[in-house]
A and B are shown apart, each in its own frame.
Chain A
Amino acid sequence: MQFNRRPWRGKLMLSLAILAGVTLLGCATGVQPRGWSGGTVRDGSLLLGSMEGKLVALDISQGAILWEVPFEAAATPGGGFGCARPSAPVAIYSTPAVAGDLVYVTTYSGKVYAINAETGALRWVYPREGALRPLVGALTASQDRVYFGTSGGEVYALNAATGDRVWVAPVEGRVWSTPAVYGDTLYVGSFDKKLYALSAADGKKKWEFDTDGAIASSPLVYGDTVYVGSFDRHLYAIDASGGGLKWKFPAGNWFWATPVAYGDAIYAGNLDNKVYILNARSGGKLAEPIDLGSPIASSPALIDGRVVFATEAGKIYALDTATNRVDELRDVKEKVHAPLAGGQGVAYVHTMKDTVYAVNADTGAVREFRIKSR
């Protein structure tokens, strides 16, 4: 029996094992952001950000990629030693926003791009030099401007045609949500636990509303009310003009996904695996919460009177708004975080494996599109 003939060898091997273990941490933990861009349907094509850092236009009928625009590679932000590449694909968390002939998208590397939706040609990039802090939320296009928030706690308004800055307004925390515009007011949630109402014209603060948790969920403006979920596990209904609380509803975990409104009801998915169906005016429950068995991080899509939800585990459900009955449409067995897109009776689900599933909201029939380069 050869037992520890050279003790220093054991120590060496252990040290190397520890080193290898620590090194591999960077490979195994997703240190590098990957992105979870949702899709936007436009004239028979689906526009979305891929996990390879490209804006892709997908022909829905043919399943072919019409064009793709690769964004400049980002420096590795940290971690990944041993498996790190000199540069990593840009992570795209935002769902592309379309206005006119342009499609707008933000990247985690701190850039905003405006691209011709027909050809994929770059129209402008902001900022032209350098980069902003990481951008997670999408842009909102309204009239001749686009609005977005940064991880540095700033809200920007840019000229939609030229990319020139119109105004910038500071808030006190990261902005990961997508701003909502209604009339002349911009509503934006922040990690500083506040919902801000800013003047769309000049960015001046109209009011702010305090919650007890950070806000990553994008606000929904419906009628005269702003609905927004918070990390304090409540969904808030706030008066859109004055900022007063109308009601709040407690759930079991964070509200990450943006709710959907239809008729008198609000449909809100929560990370406690449940869908809450609430009266939009009173906040009362219209039906018992529906447990989908996995966290709901992906914002649902309203398609022909059905609200389509995707769970993190990859199950796709359709909730009939008339009966509040839920049917499982499909189990794609891939993790889903991206917001769903809807168009012509179909829900588009972009999974974390960079695959798009087009799921018929009525029959559950599925078409599969591989976005990842072969």
Chain B
Amino acid sequence: MGAIWDLVIMKPLINVLIVLSHYLFGSFGLAIIALTIVINLLMYPLTVKQLRATKSMQALQPKLAELQKKYAKDRARLAQEQMSLYRESGVSPAGCILPMLLQMPVWIALFYSIMKLLGVTPEDFLGLSQYLYSWPIVYTLLPLGNNFLWLNLATGDFVLAILVGGTMWLQQKMTTMSGTDPRQQSMNRMMQWMMPLMFAFLTLQFPSGLALYWVTSNVIRIVMQYFATGWGGLVPSPTGRPAGGKDKKYLKRIAQVEQVPSPPSGGSSVAETGPAPEEVAHGASGGTSQDSRRSYPEGARPIRRGPRRGKGHRDKRR
């Protein structure tokens, strides 16, 4: 297993980083940034899928809350209904976490690569020799320089820790799934702060090269997320509810699912499904539901996916 990991992941990554450094003015920092961009581009389809899945999950929150309320005393039935809801709505909870899971090996491989390439310890550097392709360029470029901007890529950095924490907070805020369950809301708030703080702390402990990957990756995901789903929870709506401008297109769909008559543009409505007003109280505009299906369990309606044309959801029904 270790040999396969080395052959398939570690060796290509290490050698690509060295070659990138060569072509990027000998800068290992630029090589890390370039590699991060490439990795994120490769994972773009999955990332978009995750963003959409997260949004879809968010849209289902009122219905999930309703199901929980309705079947509070029958857990088996509740689980059954929830599964039905996920299935009929085309939402896969796994879709929210798959890209994150896929990133883990990348993090691990990048961590090992940086440690070895920078020769953070003599042991790491000695081990590097077994990962190199027999390309002359690879042998003559080592060890890579560990200075980039103000950073020593081999050690932790306070400014970078702030950047990692800040960008992660922004990204978390954009994806935070609001819900009706007070425990969930509490947990969301906790996660929103805990993860950035922890990663900021880890940045101080780990080589800056790895943190450079984190902060670059966060920035890229923020940009992707903006174009896919808007600012999300980052920008509060006029009613005080979190809703970005681009969310309106999406929320309109939610309103359609809820079959709530939409008020004039910019206004807000109150969902008839009761216990989850915040999920549907964002400004939804225009159009009534084109969904004619009436056979779903109470409150559970399928979410129709809009045509996908690059930048996430677009509603043609204007």
Q: CB-CB < 8 A to A29: which residues of B?
A: 111-112, 115, 124
13 A-B contacts (beta carbon < 8 Å): A1-B79, A2-B79, A3-B86, A4-B82, A6-B181, A8-B181, A10-B93, A18-B104, A21-B107, A22-B107, A31-B206, A78-B206, A176-B122
- Contact A93/B122 with A5-B79, A8-B179, A232-B139 known, Cβ cut-off 8 Å: yes
Q: CB-CB < 8 A to A254: which residues of B?
A: 129, 139
Q: CB-CB < 8 A to A136: which residues of B?
A: 122
Task: Count contacts on B: residues with CB < 8 A to the other chain.
Answer: 58
Q: CB-CB < 8 A to B187: which residues of A?
A: 8-9, 12
Contact B121 A32, beta carbon cutoff 8 Å: yes
What class of interface size applies to chain A in its complex with B? 35 or more
Consensus secondary structure, chain B interface:
helix
**Which residues of B (184-207) have their CB < 8 Å from a CB of A?**
184, 187-188, 191, 195, 198-199, 201-202, 205-207
A26 within 8 A of B: yes
Most B Cβ at <10 Å: residue of A5, A11, A212: A11
B interface vs A, CB < 8 Å? 57, 64, 68, 75-76, 78-80, 82-83, 86, 93, 96-97, 100-101, 104, 107-108, 111-112, 115, 119-126, 129-130, 132, 134, 136, 139-140, 142-143, 154-156, 177, 179, 181, 183-184, 187-188, 191, 195, 198-199, 201-202, 205-207
Most B Cβ at <10 Å: residue of A30, A91, A256: A30
Q: CB-CB < 8 A to B188: which residues of A?
A: 8
Contact B129 A253, beta carbon cutoff 8 Å: yes
Q: CB-CB < 8 A to A1: which residues of B?
A: 76, 79-80, 83
Q: Which residue of B lies closest to A25 (CB)?
A: B111
Q: CB-CB < 8 A to B207: which residues of A?
A: 78-79
Contact B143 A214, beta carbon cutoff 8 Å: yes
Q: CB-CB < 8 A to A174: which residues of B?
A: 119, 143
A116 within 8 A of B: no
The smallest beta-carbon distance between A171 and chain B, in angstroms, is: 15
**Which residues of A (160-200) have their CB < 8 Å from a CB of B?**
174, 176, 191, 193
For A327-355 the 0/1 string (1 means CB < 8 A from B) is 00000000001000000000000000000
Contact A14 B195, beta carbon cutoff 8 Å: no
- Contact A84/B140 with A3-B79, A11-B191, A19-B195 known, Cβ cut-off 8 Å: no
For A33-56 the 0/1 string (1 means CB < 8 A from B) is 110100000000000000000000
Q: CB-CB < 8 A to A25: which residues of B?
A: 107-108, 111, 206
A207 within 8 A of B: no
**Which residues of A (254-305) have their CB < 8 Å from a CB of B?**
254, 256, 271, 295, 297
